[in-house]
Each structure stands twice: as C-alpha cells, then as structure tokens.
Structure 1
Amino acid sequence: MSSELSIYDTPAIDRLRHELRFDPHALRRYRNALLKHGRADADAATELPADVREEFLRRVGLHPLELHCRNDSQQDGASKLLFRTRAGMLIESVILRIATGRTTLCVSSQVGCAAACDFCATGKMGIAQNLQPAEILDQITQSRQILATEGRQLRNLVFMGMGEPFHNEENLYATLEALQAPELFHQPPSRILVSTVGLPNAMIRCARRFPNLNLALSLHSANQETRQQIIPLAKRFPLAELRRALVELNRIQPKSTEVMVEYLMLGGVNDSLESAAELAAWLDGLRVHVNLIPFNPIDDAPHLQGADRPTREAFGAHLKSAGLKTTIRYSLGADVAAACGQLVRKENRKHAIAIKTANLSEA
C-alpha cells in the first residue's frame, strides 16, 4: 500500500500545506491548474512555491493509474484509454468528442462487472473488483490533460464504463463528492450521469444524497421474462420494484430532472412494436427520457445481433407517438472497440488467473 497522500484527499493535503507553511492561495492555484484546467503535471507544479515544490510532490501521489495505451477512432473522434492500476489490472475510459462540440468521458467504476449482462463484454470477464475513488478520479484528471492539449474542455461525465457503479456504492459516493467539491473539480451534478443495471434501493439512496445528479436505468426490456434472459440481476430486482424506484426518483429529484432509460436494441429479442408498446405502457406517467442504443457485437455473445436502423427508427416513432421523449443513439468508437459493451477483458482474465495461482501456491 502506497504511503503517498492522494491529491484528492483535501484534509490531508491541507495538513501538508500547513506543515510546509506555504500560501493556501498557491495550493488553490495548483489544484485548479491540474484538476480544472488539465494542465500537465510539471506545468501545474509551477504554481507551487519553489522552496517547497520538490517536497510537496515527493509526498503527494497524482496518478494511481498508468496510461497503458490509447486507441483513437478513425471514424468519429472517440478515444479509448487503457489504464493500468497498481495491482496490474487494466481498465478503460472512453473520450467521446460529440459532433456538437461537447466532450464526454465514459468512466469505469470497477475492474470487470458482476452483473454479467448477456450483451456486455465486461460482464464476461469473470471478475469484479472495486476501484478506489482516486483511481476513478484519475481517469478524469488524465483525460482532461489529454483534451487540454487539443484546446478542448471536458464537459460531461458518464459512469457507463466498466462495472456496476452501485456495486461500488461508497467509493462512488466519495468520488461524486470530490467531483462536486469547489476546491477540486467543481463539476456541476447536472453534467454527471450514473448508469445502473437496476438496483432500486441504491438508486433511491443516491437520489436522496445527490438529488441534482442524473441517473440512468439500463432497462432493455419491459417484459420480465425477456429482461431476465439478458440481465441476470433482473431475477433479484423485478420490474415492479424498478417501477416503484422510478416513481420515488421522480418525487425526490427536481421537476426539471428526467431519469434516462437506456434501451439496447437487440434484433429479434426486444425490438418488436409489441415490445415498444410494452415499454410505453410501463413508462406511462413517469418523468423519463428514453435512449435507444445500437448493439455492438461481442465475441462472447454470437447469438445476439443488433436491430437494423429501420427497426430502431420504427420503435422510436412508436414511443414518441405515445408521448415519450425518445432519442435514437448512434455508436461512437466501434472501430477501436470503445463502444458500449466492448471493454477490455482478455488481459485481465490472464492477470486474475495468475494472481489466484500465486495465492494458492503461497497457501
């Protein structure tokens, strides 16, 4: 375990500043340069007094993650970043340069995922390990530094990368606190979205703690039997419970906030007009916005295929005619396996097996 202080641990960093006896305004300028403006480490460090700079940087850990490699899409401007943790595992973040000019970062909260959804490569990894707040936040820091070299600013954060965020609930909350803290990132909650496969009690706890935060539910079917086929956790958290959770979210959150309902369009599974009618009926009376998402094929699910574009558009038209706000999404980063459900797994599998073998040998 590293003895370094985390740059995100505000009380510890403030104590170090007091010990080294330098101007708090210099520390504020340094953190602003690094965390808000994405300046390079060495450049941001020039905001620290020269006489304490070396000692401060010796004792403070900036990056618990190492940038392992970067793959840039040649189609649409997405970038997949592979980070290696100090435990040797790989995680992914994806920079999405939206055509409108807004830039979004898709953040991972775990290595792997225990939800094991049928359509998702991450869930096929066979492991699920929580990331610490500093490991989640460093994805944002390093991504912001990359974008700063392009003259871009990171606007939106979506927790839609590797992992089920509410399986790492307390670390997620610590991360959200740091993101919104004025002395750190000062990210408005309206520009943060947390996506879950559907843990109703955790969704309600999160909304009560962060009422202005955006939440997304990966629903994918309003039919209990169909949903269980593609999302194993649906057996534990049936649709009736999720519906009650959405009603409560609508009560807790401001009237201007809508719950995002993610719906992956799977050919022959959930893409019929009958499925659209079921979905419209299930969502009736709720303050929601539906996102229809194209499916990106994965090797571990050859039995699944995406719905074609006319089917997706007909499905969306049915929802709109029922009065539901609906957006038909198009994938970014598919050519670098950066799109939803295409996250790294092979190397982590090998590393997890090696660790397990070593532990058994020691025992």
Structure 2
Amino acid sequence: MDGWNLWMKERGHPAYRAKQIWQHLYERRAGSFDAMTNLPKTMRDDLKASLTFGDLMVADERVSRDGTLKRAYVLRDGQVIESVLMPYKDGRRTACISSQAGCAMGCVFCATGQMGFARQLSSAEIVEQALIFARELHQRGERLSNVVLMGMGEPLANYDNAMEAVERINHDLGVGMRHITVSTVGLPERIKQIADEGRQVTLAVSLHAASDQQRSALIPINKKHPIQQVMQACVYYCGKTGRRISFEWALIAGETDTPQQADQLGRLLSRAMRQGLIGHVNLIPVNPTEGYDGRPSSPLAVSSFIDTLKRHGVGATARLRRGIDIEGGCGQLKAETIKRQQKESQRGTVEVAA
C-alpha cells in the first residue's frame, strides 16, 4: 500500500483514501476506478487521468473442455505473457502465472524455452495476473485458492520481484503461503536463500532426468548447476524448513518414461532421502510443441514408472494433463498470438502498399 500512500501525498488527497483504494482492489475486487463509488468523483477522475487500471491487456483467450482458461496478455511495452486458471472438482481454483516474458533456461520441450528470454516481469505484473483471476472468481461467488509460479519464466532468476509478488499474493489476495508454489529448474543458491529466509511457499523442482548427461540435453542450465548441486540444495532446504519438495518429471515416450529412467530416478531420490530430503514426484505427460516432437507417455508406461519408484520408497503421482485442446502447455498460446500478430502486421503492410 506504500505506492498508494505516495500517490495520495503527491496528488494532495487525504492519506486515508489509500486504504479505501486498497480495499476496493483486494477485498471487493473492483474492476475499474469508476466502481470505487465511495471515493469522490473528482478523485476517481484524477485516478483515471493519471493511472491506468492495470498493465495487462488480453490478446487471446481460450477455454478448454475441462474448464481450463488460458489467456495471452500484451504488456505495455508489447511483450506477451500467459496465465492459466484451472478449476478442480474439489473446489480448488488454481492460477498458473508467469514471472518473466520468455525464459532463458532453454528447456528443449518447452515452448517458452524455445522462444528465448525477453525481460523480467515486475512484481506488479506478476501479481496482476493472479488479481485478475481473483476478481473474476469473486464476481461468481468463488475464490482463488492456489497460485503457482509455473508459467512462463524461471521465478528464481527473477528472485526479488517474484518473492515480492508472493508476499503480495499472500497478504493482498489472501492466498495461504503454503498454497503458493514456486517452480524452478533448480538454481541451488536461490533454493538455499528461500530456506534461509524462512519462506513457507511450496517448492517444485523440475528434474526431468536423473543423470547429468541426459538432463543437460533437456535442460541446458544443468551444465552450470549439475544434479548433485541441485540435490544438495534440496536436502539443505528440507533440513531448514521441514517442507516437502515436489519434483516435476516430464514423461516423454521412449525417453524419460523407461524402466531404466525410473530406476535411476528412484536411486537418486532414495539416496537424498537418507540425507534428509523430503520429496514427492509429480509425473507430467509432456505437452507436444511445434519445436519438439516428443510424445506423451502411455498410461501403462506411467503406471509402471510409479511402481518402480515405489519400490525405491519414493512416492509419485501422475498429474492430469489440462488444457491440451487450447494450447495449454507453457508458451504455446504466446507463440500462436505472436504468429497472428505478425500475419496481421504483414497484411496491413500489403494493404498500405496496395
């Protein structure tokens, strides 16, 4: 609320109005300055004249047969990001939001990784993605229950802004800290920093392979931070926080879903568990993308993978694939949006030339 206090002072408005605006935004989920009817009209006009109501403009939106809503947003500088809202039968409403425009990690099976890095998102741009969903859910008598920083970008490579956003999502939107998940490919020093700062977020670490050779082929950052460094940081995190880590594993038919891969992962995690690791594996059949021809695993391969991990004393859950019919994978809708914008731009150029 400090920003609103400063704005009040600069514009000569009473300081107590800052709290009223905050309440409109985060408690009543107002969708415009005009909806803040207990503010004087002169003040609402001043707000509209000097500020924009948010930084995100919808560029594309798709709704899946399973209820998943995916949006591509255009930012003020023209960058495009994505957000997803996933409803579950048990009442959970989970927002998957982006922390960067693009991503520098270069994971080969990820559409975002294939398009490269553009810039960091501000904490406000990160929070607004969750706020928009919270506002829309509020209007139909529902609430945002979970938030995952698992959209475009590597949150721990935008650490300060991502952590500030986490604090605001917790404080301003009322999402419990343990219902906020931060996903990372594994930046060891940042994982330790989360532990040292005592943050109670849920940590999800994307492994996807259990040997350095295989993981480096899928996730290039592994060449800088090999698996043992990542695992040591995870053991440290569990020792400091007592929290369980979710390990993400993309199941790619014939590549990462074989009995040998399952055995290798089981041995890796069971060794770390003897050192204090508390972990669980989330198995995710890969979403196909234009830049990667790997296919999702069969149900039989998934079941076999889980059984192999169980024999090592490692728990695993197969995660439902959601939004497949609407370009649900990270970065896919952005890629489609950019293609459409380019076609529209080219069409406009041709029309002018004609």
TM-score (norm 2): 0.88
Specify every segment of 5 or more residues in structure 1 that has no aligned partner in the other structure, as ranges.
Answer: 1-9, 355-363
CA offsets, 1:170-191, max 9 Å, x none?
221222232233xx33432111
| Percent of residue pairs bearing the same amino acid type | 31
> Secondary structure in 2 aligned to 1:216?
strand
1:6: which partner in 2? Answer: none
- Cα pair distance change 1:210/1:77, threshold 3 Å: farther
Specify every segment of 5 or more residues in structure 2 that has no aligned partner in the other structure, as ranges.
Answer: 346-354
The CA distance in 1 between the partners of 2:281 and 2:8, in whole Å, is 47
1:214: which partner in 2? Answer: 202
**Does the CA-based 8 Å contact 1:82-1:90 persist in structure 2?**
yes
1:22: which partner in 2? Answer: 14
1:315: which partner in 2? Answer: 305
The CA distance in 1 between the partners of 2:245 and 2:18, in whole Å, is 38
The CA distance in 2 between the partners of 1:293 and 1:36, in whole Å, is 35
| 2:102 matches 1:112 | yes
Tell me the C-alpha RMSD between the 2 structures.
Answer: 2.3
**Does the CA-based 8 Å contact 1:298-1:341 persist in structure 2?**
no
AA matched with 1:322: H
Q: 2:144 aligns with which of 133, 151, 154?
A: 154
The CA distance in 2 between the partners of 1:87 and 1:21, in whole Å, is 30
TM-score (norm 1): 0.86
2:168: which partner in 1? Answer: 178
**Does the CA-based 8 Å contact 1:280-1:324 persist in structure 2?**
yes
The CA distance in 1 between the partners of 2:38 and 2:240, in whole Å, is 42
1:31: which partner in 2? Answer: 22
| 2:317 matches 1:327 | yes
2:193: which partner in 1? Answer: 205
Please give the residue correspondences for 1:1-363 in structure 2 after superposition, counting only pairs within 5 Å.
10-18=1-9, 20-22=12-14, 24=16, 27-42=18-33, 44-50=35-41, 52-73=43-64, 75-181=65-171, 184-253=172-241, 255=242, 257-284=243-270, 285=273, 286-302=277-293, 304-340=294-330, 342-345=332-335, 347-348=337-338
- Cα pair distance change 1:216/1:71, threshold 3 Å: same
CA offsets, 1:7-56, max 9 Å, x none?
xxx223113335644362x5434323322443322564124344533224
Q: Mean Cα displacement is larger for which, 45-54 or 330-339?
A: 45-54
> Secondary structure in 2 aligned to 1:95?
strand
**Does the CA-based 8 Å contact 1:166-1:172 persist in structure 2?**
yes
Q: CA deviation at 1:224?
A: 1.6
**Does the CA-based 8 Å contact 2:102-2:117 persist in structure 1?**
yes
The CA distance in 2 between the partners of 1:114 and 1:294, in whole Å, is 23
Moved over 6 A (4+): 349-352
The CA distance in 1 between the partners of 2:43 and 2:329, in whole Å, is 44
